[in-house]
Amino acid sequence: MANSTRLVWTNDMCFDAELNGHHFNIDADAKFGGNDLGPRPKGLLLTSMAGCSGMDVVSILKKMKVTDYKFTVDVDGELTTEHPKFYHTINISFNFSGKLIPAEKVSKAVNLSLTRYCGVSAMLSKVAKINSSIIINGEKI
């Protein structure tokens, strides 16, 4: 499956991005000549990782018959100080809440995503150390 994206410069540092028929802006912070009309490109990498791994986890848990929970994924990255600046460390937290969440199944789903299925984390792991955590009802497992 191939993806295709096209960016059209609109003004200053803002681009209209089109990805597989979906449109959104990307822009720079005002101190870099932008108007903050959309996310930054590097930040979108973190969003992509959260989305890729989050979708994996939901899909795997569904196959394991785990369906009654709330779920968020938080990702933050630390950039190098020298140009080109890139993420050298990425922290991803899988946060679950609900009754009777099976920790062993959640742990297995997260591990499968990060080690086997999530292509975004596989790519980013080539340049960054990825730390992961799982939190169920406020308790780190």
Q: How confident is the model at residue 2 (pLDDT cuts 50, 70, 90)?
A: confident
Cα(125)–Cα(137) distance, integer angstroms: 28
CATH number, position 47: 3.30.300.20
Spatial separation of the C-alpha atoms in residues 8 and 112, rounded to whole Å:
37
pLDDT in tens, 43-79: 999 999 999 999 999 999 999 999 999 999 999 999 9
Q: Is residue 63 domain-shared with residue 15, that is, in the same domain?
A: no
Please tell me whether residues 72 and 58 are part of one structural domain.
yes
Task: Give the model's pLDDT for residue 96.
Answer: 98
**Domain with 117 in it:** 41-140
Which residue has tokens 């959640």?
106
141 vs 60: CA distance, rounded Å: 19
Please give the model's pTM, rounded to 2 decimal places: 0.93
